[in-house]
Structure 1
Amino acid sequence: MHVPDGFLDAPTSVATAGVAVVGVGLALRGARRELDELTTPLAGLVASFVFAAQMLNFPVGAGTSGHLLGGALAAALVGPWTGVLCLSTVLLVQAFLFADGGITALGTNITLMGLVGVGVGWLVLRGLQTVLPRRTSLVAPLSAVAAFVSVPVAALAFVGLYAVGGAAPVPLDTLTTAMLGWHVLIGLGEAAITGLVVGSVVAVRPDLVYAARPTLAARELEVRPGLARASEVG
């Protein structure tokens, strides 16, 4: 998914850089409402995990490989605005220190993976939580579904940018088929990783998972009969 230098023309790259700057600026303001003394360290861990996971590619066939995008994962764990900051930081480090994605394409990559990936993942997750029962046990599988959807949508967003300002000698129909086909497969891996990670954190500390907060708030106070009788006796 990392777009290299020269794949899009200069006006398109400049436009996506502007979108990325505005998006990150809004994320800086929105993250203040998501982070507290408990979740701030988790944001650092999420960024570190996404960075490490994106360095590991898995084969999807025909010599093509994919890696975790991490947008839905970050949104589920630390919130959408903080998730955008996590992905943007990862992409910035990768571009300048590891030459993973072009410098002139940094705005494009932040737009696709940071804004579209996180945004779509969060909207799908919250939409599913709205129509389905609010249960903590559903946070992980719903996050997996959101992760699966976010990957091909981000791929189609790239195809849209290429249709506007593509600078590489690749036919649009060929690019669309390849991007959508392979990223559906990559999305399956994204869903599996996201579901496992979110499920592991929810099982231990659901209060740290941003997507689990509505389900925790909706819980009714349960009073166990045995404990109630013990308190009455005391």
Structure 2
Amino acid sequence: MHVPDGFLDAPISVATGAVAAAAVGLALRGARRELDDRTAPLAGLVAAFVFAAQMVNFPVGAGTSGHLMGGALAAVLVGPWTAVLCLAVVLLVQALLMADGGITALGTNISLIGIVTVVIGYGVFVLLRRLLPDRLESLPVAAALGAFVSVPAAAAVFTGLFAIGGQAPVDTGAVLVTMLGWHTLIGIGEALVTGLVVSAVVATRPDLVHGARSLVAARHQQLRETVTA
């Protein structure tokens, strides 16, 4: 979903740039509460994994491309604030060194890929955590469904931006159908990847997973109570 330069008009690019800058500023403060000496290395690994996953692009027409986004995955593993930072760094490097996404469209890409997917994906994850059985095995399912929903949600937000300030001679309805169709399919792949990765990390080091902290703390509390009983 990397948006190229000139695809959206200047007011939209400026507005999304302001949103992205504000979000990154808040994330810099919020990430301090999510990271510690144990989890900081995981954030680097998550950023590297997302960077590699986003290198696989699928053309979806009108000059845009679709790919795995990683917002929900990053949010579940390292927390939503840290996830925003990870994706912002990935998108910045891609724009500067890989010409993947435009410089003037960097704020738009961060807003779509680094904010919308994180907010929607993690929001769905938190909601499902309350509905599913309260155990570690539920985490990959909740993360996968959050990832699935986040991808077409970002595509829908992009279409809304295009309807307001799109510069390409393409009908908005056609953009919506194309973007949602492709990104629903991409969302299925994103769900599978997210579920598998979260399942693997939870199985080996659940204490490092941000989305599992409450369950791990509860298990430790039960163990202490059992030992002292």
Q: TM-score with structure 1 length normalisation? A: 0.91
1:148, 1:184 within 8 Å by CA — same for their partners in 2?
yes
1:13, 1:108 within 8 Å by CA — same for their partners in 2?
yes
Is 213-222 or 181-190 further displaced after alignment? 213-222
Shift of 1:163: 1.0
Name the counterpart of 2:142: 142
Name the counterpart of 1:42: 42
User: Matches of 2:128 and 2:81 in 1, distance apart?
Assistant: 19
User: Matches of 1:53 and 1:161 in 2, distance apart?
Assistant: 25
Name the counterpart of 1:196: 196
Shift of 1:164: 1.1
Name the counterpart of 2:131: 131
Shift of 1:56: 2.2
Name the counterpart of 1:18: 18
Identity of matched residues, %? 66
Shift of 1:58: 6.2
1:9, 1:165 within 8 Å by CA — same for their partners in 2?
yes
2:2, 2:66 within 8 Å by CA — same for their partners in 1?
no
The Cα offsets for residues 116-171 of structure 1, whole Å up to 9 and x where unpaired, read as 01111111101111222221111111100000000000000001111111111110
Q: Which has the larger radius of gyration?
A: 1
Aligned pair in 2 of structure 1 residues 106, 59: CA closer, same or farther (>3 Å)? closer
Moved over 6 A (4+): none
1:134, 1:214 within 8 Å by CA — same for their partners in 2?
no
1:134, 1:218 within 8 Å by CA — same for their partners in 2?
no
For these two proteins, the number of residue pairs brought into alignment is: 225
Name the counterpart of 1:109: 109
The Cα offsets for residues 153-212 of structure 1, whole Å up to 9 and x where unpaired, read as 000000111111111111000000000111000000000111111111111000001011
Name the counterpart of 1:89: 89
CA RMSD of aligned residues (A): 2.2
Unpaired stretches in structure 2, ≥5 consecutive residues: none
The Cα offsets for residues 92-135 of structure 1, whole Å up to 9 and x where unpaired, read as 00000000001110000000000101111111101111222221
2:7, 2:167 within 8 Å by CA — same for their partners in 1?
yes
For the residue of structure 1 that corresponds to 2:137, the secondary structure is helix
User: Matches of 2:145 and 2:190 in 1, distance apart?
Assistant: 9
User: Matches of 2:150 and 2:202 in 1, distance apart?
Assistant: 21
Name the counterpart of 2:222: 221
Aligned pair in 2 of structure 1 residues 135, 116: CA closer, same or farther (>3 Å)? same
Name the counterpart of 2:151: 151
User: Matches of 1:221 and 1:21 in 2, distance apart?
Assistant: 42
User: Matches of 1:67 and 1:55 in 2, distance apart?
Assistant: 8
User: Matches of 2:110 and 2:66 in 1, distance apart?
Assistant: 17
Unpaired stretches in structure 1, ≥5 consecutive residues: 229-234
User: Matches of 1:8 and 1:47 in 2, distance apart?
Assistant: 27
1:95, 1:102 within 8 Å by CA — same for their partners in 2?
yes
1:47-66 equivalences under 5 Å are 47-57=47-57, 66=66
Aligned pair in 2 of structure 1 residues 100, 58: CA closer, same or farther (>3 Å)? closer
1:69, 1:113 within 8 Å by CA — same for their partners in 2?
yes
2:4, 2:101 within 8 Å by CA — same for their partners in 1?
yes
Q: TM-score with structure 2 length normalisation? A: 0.93
For the residue of structure 2 that corresponds to 1:218, the secondary structure is helix
